[in-house]
C-alpha cells in the first residue's frame, strides 16, 4: 500500500475487473479535508457507462466466485483482516484527515472493520442451514443459503471504513460479487479499502469501485437490471429514492437510514456517568453518527443538575483537527453540513427552545479554515419541536424534561426513527421495562446510544430502515436467499400432504 497522501491532489481511479481505470467521461471531483478545506485527491466523476462496465465485470466474476468454496472465500477475508490490522494506523491517520473524526475514533472505525471481517470470515465454515425430518419415509430435506449475484453497495461518509466492511465482508463470504459506490466525501478511504482487498488476493471483478455522485452513479447502480441486491446506508430521503428506483424490478433492498436517538436520565441515575455517556453519544464524531444522541429525556428532579453538568462538559471540549492528540471535537464533514446544523440552531431558537451553549460556527486558532461547529445544547425543548424530531447530524442535542418513566417512554418513541435508545437508571425493573418498551432496534442500559458490537444485529425500527439488520447473523439474510431442498430416496412417487396418512 502506498504511503498515505495527506496533501496535494493526486489522481485516483475506479477499480473495474481488477484494473484501475479512469471514468469513461474523463471528469473528476476533489475530496476535501474538512479540518482545513484543502484537497486530498482527485477522483473519477463516473457516469452510467462506468457503472455498466463495473456491473459486467462483477457479473462475469460471479460465476467462479459463487462456486469457490465458502471456506476458501473466507481465506481472502482473513488475509484482508490481517492487512487492516497492519495498516490500522495509516488508515486511522487518513480518516482523521479525509473524514475529520478524532484519531481515537478513527482507529475504532478501522477496528470495527477488522472485527466484522473476522466475524464474517468465520461464516465461511458456518453459514448454517437446517435439516429437518420429512413427513414421508425415505426422504431427506434441508435448507441452504444461496448467493444472489451482483450486490450494489452504497455507503455514507461517516464510518468510511467500518460501513463498507459491514456490507462487503458478508456479501463476499456468501458468494456474491460487488459494485461499490462509496460516499463522495470519503473516496480516498474507499480506495485504500479496495487496495487492501486486492492485496488480499481477491480475484479480478469480485469487487469493483465506481466513484462519483449519488444521482449520477448511485441511482444508475440501483436501477441496473443485472444488480439484484442493493445495500444502502444513508439518509432517509435518499433511502426513499432508492426504494422507488428499485421498485420496478422488485429488487432486494436493504436500507440503514437515519436516527433521532434519545437517552433517558431517570431521577435515580448516576449523573456523572450519564454525562459521560451523553457527551460521548451527542458530540462524538461531532454528532455525525446515525446513533448520535440528539435528545436527552430527563426526569424533572435531576434536570437542573444534569443541565449544569452537561453544559460545563460541552464547554470544556477542545475543537481542532482530528489528528491532534488533544482534540475532543473534530470538524463536520463539509460546508453544506455546517449550514444545515446552523439552520437547526435558528429553528430551535424560533421554536422557543433555550440555547444553553454553542449555536455558532467556531472560529479562532485557525478553525475558520475548516468546518467547525461548537457543541450545542438546547434546554426547555418540547418533544414535538423540529429540533426534537428531525435528524440534524451535527453536535447539537436537546434536553426534554419529563415527570416520570411513562412520559419518558412516550417522548423517546414519539419520533419517526427507531435506531438507538438508552436509559440511565439504577432500578432493574425500570431497566427491563425500557428494554421492552423503547421502540428502537438497539437499547443500552447505563451507557450512551452508541457502541454496537459486530456480532449483534444492527439497525432500527420504523423509518430507520426496512426491516433488515446489518451485522451478526442477521446480515446473512441480506446477502443470501434460502433454498429448500427435498431428496426422495424411496424410489417411488410420494406425494406430500397426500401419501402420509
Say if residues 285 and 101 touch (Cβ distance below 8 Å). Answer: yes
Which helix (H) or strand (E) is 299 found in, with range?
strand 293-299
Of the residues 256, 315, 382, 470, which is catalytic?
256
Contacts with 82 (C-beta within 8 Å, 6 or more apart), sequence order? none
Of 274 and 475, CB closest to ligand NAD: 475
Of 121 and 230, CB closest to ligand NAD: 230
Buried-state track 181-207, b at ≥16 Cβ within 10 A, e below 16: bbbbbbbbbbbbbbbbbbebebeebbb
Identify the burial level of 489 via C-beta atoms within 10 angstroms of its C-beta, where 0-12 means exposed, 13-18 middle and 19 or more buried: exposed
The CB-of-220 to ligand NAD minimum distance in angstroms stands at: 8
Of 288 and 357, CB closest to ligand NAD: 288
Q: Does 235 bind ligand NAD (CB under 6 A)?
A: yes
The CB-of-294 to ligand NAD minimum distance in angstroms stands at: 10
The CB-of-258 to ligand NAD minimum distance in angstroms stands at: 3
Restricted to residues 377-416, the positions that interact with ligand NAD (CB under 6 A) are 391, 393
Give the one residue of 50, 109, 123, 184 binding ligand NAD; rule: CB under 6 A.
184
Give the one residue of 170, 258, 375, 383 binding ligand NAD; rule: CB under 6 A.
258
Reading phi first (left if > 0) and then psi (alpha if -120 to 50, else beta), residue 240 is in alpha
Give the one residue of 94, 174, 242, 387 binding ligand NAD; rule: CB under 6 A.
242
Contacts with 435 (C-beta within 8 Å, 6 or more apart), sequence order? 443, 445
468/465 Cα distance (integer angstroms): 7
Q: Which stretch binds ligand NAD (CB under 6 A): 212-220, 262-270, 300-308, 407-415?
A: 212-220
275/265 Cα distance (integer angstroms): 9
Chain residue at closest Cβ approach to ligand NAD: 214
Q: Does 154 bind ligand NAD (CB under 6 A)?
A: yes
Stretch 264-293: interaction string toward ligand NAD, x if CB under 6 A: --------------------------x---
The CB-of-9 to ligand NAD minimum distance in angstroms stands at: 21
Give the one residue of 155, 327, 376, 440 binding ligand NAD; rule: CB under 6 A.
155
Q: Does 158 bind ligand NAD (CB under 6 A)?
A: yes
Say if residues 91 and 192 touch (Cβ distance below 8 Å). Answer: yes
The CB-of-100 to ligand NAD minimum distance in angstroms stands at: 13
Give the one residue of 183, 252, 313, 399 binding ligand NAD; rule: CB under 6 A.
183
Catalytic site residue 256? yes
35/65 Cα distance (integer angstroms): 41
| Residues 33, 37, 42, 46, Cα dihedral to 10° | 90
CB atoms < 10 A from the CB of 111, how many?
17
Q: Which stretch binds ligand NAD (CB under 6 A): 140-148, 232-240, 260-268, 354-362?
A: 232-240
Say if residues 268 and 425 touch (Cβ distance below 8 Å). Answer: yes
Give the one residue of 147, 234, 379, 472 binding ligand NAD; rule: CB under 6 A.
234
CA-to-CA dists, residue 442 to 75, 261, 421, angstroms: 31, 10, 6
Q: How many CA atoms lie within 13 A of 499 on its CB side?
A: 11
Give the one residue of 156, 321, 394, 395 binding ligand NAD; rule: CB under 6 A.
156
Instruction: For residue 418, list its beta bridge partners.
Output: 461
Of 218 and 331, CB closest to ligand NAD: 218
Q: Does 113 bind ligand NAD (CB under 6 A)?
A: no
Give the one residue of 96, 165, 233, 440 binding ligand NAD; rule: CB under 6 A.
233
Give the one residue of 218, 330, 359, 370 binding ligand NAD; rule: CB under 6 A.
218
Give the one residue of 256, 277, 298, 421 binding ligand NAD; rule: CB under 6 A.
256
Of the residues 290, 315, 368, 382, which is catalytic?
290
Q: Does 219 bind ligand NAD (CB under 6 A)?
A: yes
Q: Give the DSSP letter string of 372-435.
A: -B--EEEES--TTSGGGTS---SSEEEEEEESSHHHHHHHHHSSSEESEEEEE-S-HHHHHHHH
Name the residues that contact ligand NAD, by CB under 6 A.
Answer: 154-159, 181, 183-184, 213-215, 218-219, 222, 233-235, 238, 241-242, 256-259, 290, 391, 393, 419, 464
Catalytic center residues:
256, 290
Amino acid at each position: 500500500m502506498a504511503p498515505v497522501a495527506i496533501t496535494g491532489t493526486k489522481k485516483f481511479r475506479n477499480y473495474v475487473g481488477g484494473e484501475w481505470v479512469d471514468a469513461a467521461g474523463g471528469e473528476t471531483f476533489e475530496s476535501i479535508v474538512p479540518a482545513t478545506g484543502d484537497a486530498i485527491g482527485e477522483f473519477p466523476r463516473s457516469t452510467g457507462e462506468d457503472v455498466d462496465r463495473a456491473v459486467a465485470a462483477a457479473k462475469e466474476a460471479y460465476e467462479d466466485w459463487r462456486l469457490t468454496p465458502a471456506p476458501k472465500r473466507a481465506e481472502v477475508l482473513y488475509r484482508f483482516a490481517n492487512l487492516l490490522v497492519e495498516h490500522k494506523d495509516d488508515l486511522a491517520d487518513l480518516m482523521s484527515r479525509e473524514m475529520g473524526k478524532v484519531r481515537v475514533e478513527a482507529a475504532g472505525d478501522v477496528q470495527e472493520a477488522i472485527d466484522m471481517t473476522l466475524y464474517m470470515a468465520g461464516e465461511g465454515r458456518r453459514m448454517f442451514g437446517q435439516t429437518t425430518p420429512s413427513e414421508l419415509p425415505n426422504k431427506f430435506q434441508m435448507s441452504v443459503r444461496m448467493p444472489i449475484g451482483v450486490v450494489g453497495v452504497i455507503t455514507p461518509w461517516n464510518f468510511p471504513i467500518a460501513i463498507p466492511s459491514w456490507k462487503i465482508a458478508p456479501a463476499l463470504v456468501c458468494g456474491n460479487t460487488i459494485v461499490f459506490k462509496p460516499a463522495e466525501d470519503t473516496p480516498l478511504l474507499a480506495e485504500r479499502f479496495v487496495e487492501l482487498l486486492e492485496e488480499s488476493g481477491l480475484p479480478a471483478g469480485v469487487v469493483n469501485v465506481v466513484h462519483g455522485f449519488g444521482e449520477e452513479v448511485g441511482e444508475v447502480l440501483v436501477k441496473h437490471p443485472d444488480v439484484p441486491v442493493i445495500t444502502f446506508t444513508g439518509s432517509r430521503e435518499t433511502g426513499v429514492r432508492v426504494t422507488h428506483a428499485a421498485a420496478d424490478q422488485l429488487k432486494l433492498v436493504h436500507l440503514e437510514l437515519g436516527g433521532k436517538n434519545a437517552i433517558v436520565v431517570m431521577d435515580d441515575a448516576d449523573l456523572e456517568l450519564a454525562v459521560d455517556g451523553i457527551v460521548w453519544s451527542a458530540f462524538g464524531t461531532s454528532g455525525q453518527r446515525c446513533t448520535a444522541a440528539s435528545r436527552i429525556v430527563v426526569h424533572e428532579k435531576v434536570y437542573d443538575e444534569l443541565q449544569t453538568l452537561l453544559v460545563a462538559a460541552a464547554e470544556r471540549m477542545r475543537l481542532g483537527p482530528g489528528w491532534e492528540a488533544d482534540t475532543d471535537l473534530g470538524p463536520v464533514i463539509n460546508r453544506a453540513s455546517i449550514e444545515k446544523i446552523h439552520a437547526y440552531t435558528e429553528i430551535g431558537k424560533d421554536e422557543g427552545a433555550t440555547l444553553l451553549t454553542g449555536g455558532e460556527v467556531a472560529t479562532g486558532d485557525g478553525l475558520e479554515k475548516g468546518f467547525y461547529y461548537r457543541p450545542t445544547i438546547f434546554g426547555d425543548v418540547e418533544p414535538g419541536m423540529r429540533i426534537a424530531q428531525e435528524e440534524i447530524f451535527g453536535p447539537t442535542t436537546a434536553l426534554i424534561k419529563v415527570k416520570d418513566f411513562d412520559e419518558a417512554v412516550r417522548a423517546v418513541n414519539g419520533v419517526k426513527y427507531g435506531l438507538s435508545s438508552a436509559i440511565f437508571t439504577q432500578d432493574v425493573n425500570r431497566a427491563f421495562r425500557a428494554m421492552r418498551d423503547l421502540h428502537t432496534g438497539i437499547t443500552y442500559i447505563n451507557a450512551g446510544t452508541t457502541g454496537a458490537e459486530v456480532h449483534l444485529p444492527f439497525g432500527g425500527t420504523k423509518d430507520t430502515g426496512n426491516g433488515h439488520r446489518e451485522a451478526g447473523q442477521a446480515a446473512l439474510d441480506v446477502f443470501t436467499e434460502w433454498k429448500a431442498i427435498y431428496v426422495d430416496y424411496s424410489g417411488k412417487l410420494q406425494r406430500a400432504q397426500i401419501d402420509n396418512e
